[in-house]
Amino acid sequence: MMAEVTMAPALFEELTAENGKRIGVATLNVEKTLNAISLEMVDLLDQQLRAWAADPQLAMVVLQAAGEKAFCAGGDLQGLYRTMLDQHAAGKQEDIRSNTYACDFFEREYRLDYLIHTYSKPILAWGHGIVMGGGIGLMAGASHRVVTEKSRLAMPEITIGLYPDVGGTWFLNRMPGQVGLFLALSGASIGAADAIFARLADYQVSHAQKQAVLAALLSQPWDGGQDDVLLSRILLDAQDQGAAAFAGAPAPLQQHFALINQLCSAPTLAEVVENIVTLAADDQWLQRGIATLAAGSPASAWLSHALQKRARHMSLAEIFRLEYVVSLHCAARTDFAEGIRALIIDKDRQPKWQPATLAAVTNDWGNGFFSDPWSGKNHPLADLI
């Protein structure tokens, strides 16, 4: 019995504070795969978070992960890959609803992300280690987002023929200047200070302070009224206590902010991409971003750019509905499966993108990603408000 519980992809416990209120602790528990998100993990988290939201004695939630390497490195793509191949082999690419697994996965993952964004109680997300793709989706909506000296955040979907989903269209558009577009195109990895600058995190706290933070949570006078303030004060104090851990840490996103704005402010995507890939840069962080864009899916670059423009004035719920349709089109077309094959399955890192160049991505072809087979009230995420 205990072995079965331990193997669950998400574990839950409750801690009792001194005043009798309880704190829910949710732990992503697939350390071997860097806590990659599976459908089972999504369902477990969604069910427990909803139960805690309805519990008047539950003051707040801690969202953390097993192991020291990663909070969450993204989605578990292997099962999705197999269903995409089946969809393609059956010749059902024209009907994005034909891949029922992809429909279920994206609907339930996006529901969970939206739940976190709109949660009625404070959520402390402890984003230690690698936080990528779907991991940022879990963390981005939390009310109190912590990064540590080992945090590395990225949305590298351009390398697998996808785009920054899980609400990425929302939070990338709300970053300073042109940072969101640059991160989407380059897949660049950022540390703690840059995560705060990009509005993906709220506090940089030394990982050594974690147990002290958890202990402090148990001594608070949780009352349901000022709980977010109590949590903020704990984290600000921990941030001050562990400030030395971040001294001298590089912050290339801030360092190159003016340059990034210059590169990405061109009127067209083609000009933006040309500006980036032809940049003569000595900085290794910039060089990696340039190389990632040059080798990435042209369709993904087009999508990232088009989505940020299209969704600029959309609500969060509208964006999740839009991303759901776009993600299913990605599953039905070729680049997403090909990117997973090249990076994860065969690991040859030689994807054959279709179209092969950005110039070959026509607006008519690209706009097909936004074709929605559902009328408004029938959309699977129509109830998000």
Residues tagged active-site: 75, 134, 157, 165
Measured CA distances, 50 to 44, 46, 74, 165 (Å):
10, 6, 22, 23
Q: Are 180 and 174 in contact (CB under 8 A)?
A: yes
Instruction: Count the neighbouring beta carbons within 10 Å of the beta carbon of residue 208.
Output: 13
Q: Is 332 helix (H, G, I), strand (E, B) or coil?
A: helix
Q: Alpha helix (H) ranges present in the chain?
A: 2-6, 39-53, 78-89, 100-117, 134-140, 168-172, 179-186, 192-197, 210-217, 227-241, 252-255, 257-264, 269-277, 284-295, 298-310, 316-332, 335-340, 363-367
Report the chain's C-alpha Rg in angstroms. Answer: 21
Classify 60 as helix, strand or coil.
strand
Angle between helices 78-89 and 316-332 (to 10 degrees): 60
Q: How many CA atoms lie within 13 A of 290 on its CB side?
A: 16
Q: What is the arrangement of strands in the sheet containing 70-72, beginning at the earlier edge strand?
A: 70-72, 130-132, 152-154
Distance CA 140, CA 46 (A): 16
188 by DSSP, 3-state: which?
A: coil
Report the C-alpha gap between 176 and 195 in whole angstroms: 11
